[in-house]
Amino acid sequence: MSGRGAGYGVALRIARRDALRSKGRTILVLCMIGLPVMAIVALSVLFKTGEWSARESLPYDLGRADARFTGVARSPVTQNPADTTFGGAGMDEAPKPWSTEEMTRQVRAKYGPDAKVLPYVVGKAAGIRTERGLLQVEVTEVDLRDPLTAGLAMLRKGRLPATADEVALPSKFQERGFRLGSTAVVEATGANKRVVGFVADPLTAERPLAVALPGAFPEQTGGRHPGASATNSQWLVGTGGKPVTWADVQAFNKLGITVLSRAVVNDPPSADQIPTSSRSETAVDNATVAIAAMIVAMVVLEVVLLAGPAFAVGVRRQRRQLALVAASGGDARHLRTVVLAGGIVIGGAAALIGAVAGIGLAAAAGPVYEAYSDTTLGPFEIPWVLITVPMVLGAVSGLAAAYVPARQAARMDVVAALGGRRDQARSRRGWPIAGGALIAGGIVLCLVGVRLWREFGAAIGAVAIIIGCVMIGPWVVGVAGRTASRLPLPMRLAVRDGARNRGRAAPAVAAIMAAVAGITALAIGGASDFAQNRDEYRARLPMGTTIIQANAYEGDQNALAERMRQAVAREMPGVPAIPLRSLPGQDRICMGQGPGKCPFATFGKGYRGPEPITIDHLVGGPREARFLLGRDDPAVTAALTAGKIVLFHVKPPAGGTVPVAVKEYAEDREKVIRSFGRLPAIAVPDATGVRTLVPPAVATRIGLPMENVALGIDRADHRVTEDEESRVQERLDGITADLNSASIYVERGFTESFSQILLFLGLAGTLMVLGGSLIATGLSAADSRPDLATLAAVGARPRTRRLLMMGQAGFIAILGCWLGILAGLAPGIAVARPLTAPTQGGASADFSGGSINTTDHGTIVAIPWELLGAIGIVVPLIAMLAAGLFTRSRLPMVRRTAA
C-alpha cells in the first residue's frame, strides 16, 4: 500500500472478496439498501410515465392533423405554445361565435386552397334516457371516419356514426342495457339516435365519452348540465405538410384564435418569444419540498441504522485480517479505507441492482395499474435524472452505514485482535446528554412551533426527537441490560448480549424506534382528524329515515312532486311515503319579482347554526313529528294537537309564545306584510333538519300557499337500501327538466371509517419492527457462535439457542417499539392541533340568540391506544415467534476461542 491509489485498489479488492465470501450478510445489506432504491425508482418511473406531456398527448389531441384552431374571441389574445393558457382584453365579453366558413377562409388564405378544416366540438353534456331514468354523457362532435381524426377516440365495438341520427355511446353503457342497433333518446330534445358503436377515451377510460357528427346535438343555452352553456368551437386543420409556426400562431392570436400546433409543440419557441401573461409557471411549495427532503433523510437514516450493524459484524469477523494489515505497516487510515470500501462496493451494487429492479417493476406494474384503475399511462419513460438521485442516496447510505464501523476498526487493539480477544464496548458519555437536549428541544418545537409553522413545525420537531432518541439509544440499551438479573436464563443472556454488543443492538433499536415514532405521529394526527369529522357530522334525519325532495325552479311545484311520488312508487311499491308540505321560509328560492311576489313566514328567531336544514317550516301533525324525531314524543304530540307551534334545536321561547309574521324583502331589508302577534309554541332540542313544525290550523291562518316539497319514508315503515336509493335517483333524474331537480337522501349516519388506515399503519409498523428485530437477531446469531458453542459445551439444551434468539428479538423489538411510541406522542399531539382547531369566525360565531351551539368542540386529540398497544405488545411477540421459527436448535461445531 505504498501509493494512495494502490491502497484504494487493494481496499476495493479486499471488500469485493469479503462480500463474496460472506454471501448471507452481503445479500442482507443489498436488500436493506436496494429495496428502498427499487421502490423510489419504480415510483419515479410510474410518476413520469403517468404524466402526459404536450408532445406525448398530441396523437390524442390532434389525431393526424397539423393543428387545432379554437375561436375564443374577436379581439387579440395571447397563449402559450401548448394552448393550455390564454387571455386577452376582450375575453370577458361574449364574442360572436366563429363559423366553419370564416375559419376555412382564414386557414386557406394562409396555407392555400388545399388546406383542410374539420369541425371539432368537445365538452357537450347530454342526458340519455334509459328505461328507468337518465344517464349523463359528454359528447364529442367530429367525423371520426376522417383520417385527420385517427387516435381521438377508441372504437370498442360496432362502427362510427355516419349520419346525424347515429351515435356511439360509452363502452360501459353496454352494462346498462344499450346494444348495437338500439335507440338512445336525448333528454333535452327528445331526438332518437341509433346506437351504432361503443367508444372510449384513450386517455381517461372512465370518462363517459359519446361521439356524434357535428350538429347532431344542438347547443343548449341553459340548464343544469355542465355543458349546457355555449361552447368554443374548434377545428382540426390539415395544412398539407406545411408547418404551423409560432409566428403563424401569433398571427392567428391577433384575430382571437388560439392554436395548438404540432410543429410548435415539437419545437417550442424560446422563453423570450412567449408573452409573459401566457407563460406556464409551476409554483413550488417550499414547505412541501422541505418535508419531502426530511422524508428522504429519514429513509437514509433508517437504512444506515439497519445496515450499520451488518458492517459492524463484518468488521468483527475481519478483525484478524485487519490486524494483519496493521501488523504489515498499515495505519488507521488504511484500516478505515478497507471497511469504507466495503460500504462503497455493497452500496454501489445495491444502488445499481435496485435501480434496474425498480425499472423492471415499473414496467410490469404499469399494465396492472391501468387495468385496475381505469387510467391510461403515457409512453413508458425513464427519468434518468430522478433515478440518479436514489442511486446516489443508496451508494451514500452504504458508505454512511460503514462509517462508524470503519472508525471502530481504525481504533481497534491490534494485539487483542491477533489474540482472538474482543474489545470492550465503549459509549460516548456526552451523547446521552446531547440526545436528551435534542429530545427536549424537539418537544418544545412541536408544541410551540406548530402554532407558527403548523404541520411544518411539528415535522421539524419530530426529526429532532428521533435524532435525539438515536443518540441516547446505546445508553438506553446499557441501562436495560442492568435489569437482566431478574429475568429467566434465555432472556437474561439475550439482554446482557445486547448490552455488551451495543454497536449491533442500539442501531436496530433506533431503526425500529424511528419507524414506530413516525407511525405513532401519523396515527394520532389521522385519528384526531377522523374524530373531528365524526364530531362535526350533523345528521339531517333520524338514523334510517329517508327524504325525497323536488325543487321546481320553473313550472308547478305540486305537479313535480306528484311525478316524484309516482317515480318512487314504481321503484318501491307498497312502501308508505309521507307527503311533506311546507310554508315558504326566508331561505326559499323565489323566481318572482316585485311587491308581494315572494312573501315568507317567520316564527321568531329560528335556528341559524351549521346543521343542514332540509325544510324551513313543515306543516303537519304527530305523524310528521314522529318522522322527524324518529320516535313518538308525547309532549310534541300534545302540543300539536293543541295547535301549538314546535320549534326545533332552539332554547324554550320566553313565555311559551313566539312572534309570527309574514314578511318580504324590499330593498334588501325585511318588510312586515302582516303580523299575528305571539302564538303558543314549544321548543325541542333535537336537530331535525326542519326549523319549525306548524300545525295545519296555524298554517291556514297564516294564509300563505303550501307546497308539496318532499316525500318522507319513516324508518319504522321501511329502511331504503343503497340499491333502492340508486334506482330511485335514476328515475328522479328522468322526471326533472333542465331547471328542476330531485334527489333522495337516506340518513345512514357518519359512514367514514378509519380502520383501514389504522390497519395499514399497523401492518407497516409490524413489517418495520419484524425487519429490524430479525436483522439484528440474524447478525447476533452470526456474531455469537463462539458464545453458543460455550453454552453447548457446559451442557445447555439445544432449545436454549432458540430461546436465546427469541429473547434477543423481543428485547430489541420491545425497546424500539416503546421508545418509538414515546417519541411519536409529542409530534402526533402537535399535528392534531392545527388539524382539528376550530376556525375563528366560523359557524359557531353565527348563532342567533335562541340557537343551541353544538360546534364549539375545541382542539381534538385522539390517541389510537388499540394500535399503539398492538405495536408495543403484540408486534414484539410476533417478532419473538418469527425469530424462534427461523432459528435452528442445533449449532454447527465451531472452534471456541479464549475470551
User: Do you know the residue count of the chain?
Assistant: 899
What pLDDT, in 10s, does the model give residues 44-59?
888 888 777 778 888 8
Q: 10 Å Cβ neighbour count for 861? A: 18
3-class SS of residue 402: coil
Give the range among 156-160, 454-458, 539-543, 874-878 with minimum mean pLDDT: 454-458
DSSP 174: G
pTM (two decimals): 0.69
What pLDDT, in 10s, does the model give residues 447-478?
777 677 666 677 778 778 888 888 887 888 88
Q: Are 600 and 662 in contact (CB under 8 A)?
A: yes
Q: Closest Cα partner for 432 from 479, 390, 400, 492?
A: 479
What pLDDT, in 10s, does the model give residues 85-129?
777 655 556 667 888 999 999 999 999 888 999 999 888 888 888
What pLDDT, in 10s, does the model give residues 618-670?
999 999 999 999 899 999 999 999 999 999 988 888 889 999 999 888 777 88
CA distance 120 to 587: 43
Q: Closest Cα partner for 69 from 280, 279, 251, 241?
A: 251
- Torsion from C-alpha of 154, 156, 159, 165, nearest 10 degrees: -80
CA distance 826 to 844: 29
Q: Closest Cα partner for 341 from 21, 33, 7?
A: 7
The pLDDT of 171-179, averaged and rounded, is 84
Could you tell me which residue, 249 or 800, shows the higher pLDDT? 249
List all residues 6 or more positions away from 718 whose beta carbon is below 8 Å from its beta carbon.
Answer: 546, 572, 575, 576
What pLDDT, in 10s, does the model give residues 858-887?
678 888 988 888 888 988 888 888 887 776
CA distance 530 to 521: 14
Give the range among 310-314, 336-340, 543-547, 643-647 with minimum mean pLDDT: 310-314
CA distance 691 to 707: 16
User: Would you state the pLDDT for residue 143?
Assistant: 92
What is the secondary structure of 594-641 as a DSSP string?
A: STTSS-EEEESS---SSS--SEEEEE--HHHHHHHHSS--HHHHHHHH
Burial string for 654-681 (b: 16+ CB within 10 Å, else e) reads eeeebebbbbbeeeeeeeeeeeeeebbb
Q: Closest Cα partner for 687 from 553, 847, 550?
A: 847
What pLDDT, in 10s, does the model give residues 420-453?
555 555 556 677 888 888 888 888 887 777 677 6
List all residues 6 or more positions away from 611 whose beta carbon is below 8 Å from its beta carbon.
Answer: 538, 540, 649, 687, 689, 854
- The residue ranges of DSSP E strands in 357-490, in sequence order, are none
Give the mean pLDDT of the chain: 79
Secondary structure element (H or E) that encloses residue 71, with its range: strand 67-71
Q: DSSP alpha helices (H): ranges in 501-556?
A: 502-536
The C-alpha cell of 408 is what? 471502530
Pairing of strands 707-713, 546-552: antiparallel
User: Would you state the pLDDT for residue 846?
Assistant: 46
